[in-house]
Amino acid sequence: MIELEGLSKRFGTTTAVDHLSCQIRPGVVTGFLGPNGAGKSTTMRMMLDLDNPTSGTVRVYGKHYRELSEPLRHVGALLDAKAMHGGRSAYNNLLCLAQSNRIPRRRVDEVLDLVGLTAVAKKKSKGFSLGMSQRLGIASALLGDPEILMFDEPVNGLDPEGILWIRNLMKGLAAEGRTIFVSSHLMSEMALTADHLVVIGQGKLLADLPMADFIQQNSRSYVRLRTPQQERLKDVLHDAGINAVSVPATGTLEIDGASAEQLGELAAQHQIVLHELSPQRASLEEAFMRMTADSVEYHAHAPGMAADGPARPTDAPAWGAGFQATPKAGE
Ligand code: ADP
C-alpha cells in the first residue's frame, strides 16, 4: 500500500504536483496515467525520497521511505533505465546493489535470468540498447524481492515481445499480492496492463477508478458519415431530432443515438448520396485525451507540424500528431 496525502511539489513557479491524494493498493496493477509533464516522475521520485515534497506526505506501508530499514527489500523501482553505471557489467551493477543492501549473491543470477539478460550479464551496460537497459533496471527493482514495485514508463524502448513480457511480469507480480504502480502516457498500453487507474494532469488528480469503470464510461459508440450533401443531410437529421456533429478536419459527420441502418434509410428516403456510413467506437485513447486536454503542455496544430513551445524529447510521438484533429464529444 502506498498513500499520498495532499502531496505537492513546486519547482520555482512550476507546480509539478498539486495536492495529490490517493492510495495505491496491493494485489493489482495500478496505472499512473498522464500526458508528458503531468507530474508522474516527480510523484514517483517523492515516493522514493529522491525529491522533497513542498507539502503533503507520501507513505509506503505506513512509513516514510527514509524510515524503511532496508528499502530495497520493500520498494523496488525503475525510474531511469540509463541510471546504471555504464562502465560496469550488468552482473556487477546488480552485485554492487545487492552487496550494499545485504541481498545474497545468488539473487543476482535469479533476477538476470528473470529478465532474460543472463547471456549478456558480463557485458558492460553502456553498450546496452534502451530495451536491454530497461530490463537491467527491472532486474535491479526486483533484486530485493520487494512488496512494492514502481515502474516509470517501463515499455519505452521495448520491442513488442518485450512489451508483452513486461505486461505479463507486472500482472504476475500483482497476482502474488504485490503493489504494482506503473506510469505511462499511453492509454492503450494501460488498458492492456492496469486493473486500476490514477489519472493526473498538471499535477492534479483527474480520476481514480477501476479500469473496467473507465472503459465502461468511455466506450462511446457513434456513426461516422460522409456525404457531398452535408448541409442537406444535417437539415434532414435535425428534422428527425438527430444531432450531428461536423468534424471539419475529416469532412465527416459524427452521430450519437442513431444506428447506421436508421441513418442509411433516412438518407435514401431523401435521396442523399453517402460516401461513408460506418459504426465507430471511440477509443480509450480519445477518452483519455478528452479528460486531459486542458492539461497537455504542448499541443500540435496538425499532423506533421511542430509542437508549441519548447520541444521536449519525449513530447511528440504520443500526443503530437493528430491531437487537435481528434474530434471531441459534443463539439
Ligand atoms: P511526467 O513524468 O508526467 O512527464 P514530470 O514529473 O517529469 O512529468 O514533470 C512535471 C513538471 O515539472 C514539468 O513541467 C517539468 O518540466 C517540471 N519539472 C520536473 N522536474 C523538474 C526540475 N528538477 N526542475 C524544474 N522543473 C521540473
**Residue-range domains of the chain with CATH:** 2-217 (3.40.50.300), 222-280 (3.30.70.100), 298-331 (no CATH)
Find the mean pLDDT for residues 97-108: 91
Ligand 1 centroid from CA 38, angstroms: 8
**Number of other CB atoms surrounding residue 10 within 10 Å:** 14
Query: Among 26-30, 81-85, 247-251, 310-314, where is mean pLDDT lowest?
Result: 310-314
- Whose alpha carbon is nearest atom 5 of ligand 1? 39
pLDDT per position as a tens digit, 63-81: 888 888 888 889 999 987 6
- What number is the average pLDDT over the span 26-44? 94
**Unique residue bearing C-alpha cell 486531459:** 292
Averaged pLDDT, 114-124: 89
Pocket of ligand 1 contains residue 252 by CB under 6 Å: no
Task: Please list, in sequence order, all residues whose beta carbon lies within 8 angstroms of the beta carbon of residue 172, skipping any fewer than 6 positions away.
Answer: none
pLDDT at 321: 25
* Per-residue b or e along 161-183, where b marks 16 or more CB atoms closer than 10 Å to that residue's CB: ebbebbbebbbebbeeebbbbbb
Per-residue pLDDT at 298: 55
Q: Whole-angstrom Cα distance, residue 47 to residue 249?
A: 42
Span 320-324, average pLDDT: 26
Determine if ligand 1 sits within 6 Å of the CB of residue 201.
no
Distance (Å, whole) CA 57 – CA 313: 31
Q: Give me the mean pLDDT over the 157-162 stretch.
A: 85
Helices (H) and strands (E) in the chain, counts: 11, 13
In tens, the pLDDT along 197-248 reads: 999 999 999 999 999 888 878 777 889 999 999 999 999 999 999 999 999 9
Instruction: Please choose, from the candidates 169, 150, 283, 278, the residue with its C-alpha nearest in 3D space to the C-alpha of residue 225.
Output: 278
Nearest CA, atom 14, ligand 1: 37
Query: In sequence order, what are the residues at sequence separation of 6 or more whose Cβ sits closer than 8 angstroms to the Cβ of residue 177?
Result: 26, 27, 147
| C-beta of 292 in contact with ligand 1 (< 6 A) | no
What digits encode the pLDDT tens for the residues 40-51?
Answer: 999 999 999 999
Task: Compute how many other C-beta atoms are within 10 angstroms of the C-beta atom of residue 118.
Answer: 14
Q: What is the pLDDT of residue 291?
A: 80
Distance 118 CA to ligand 1 centre (A): 35
Q: Which of 14, 151, 183, 314 to mutate to test the pocket of ligand 1 (most atoms within 8 A of CB)?
A: 14
Query: Which pLDDT does position 272 carry in this prediction?
Result: 97
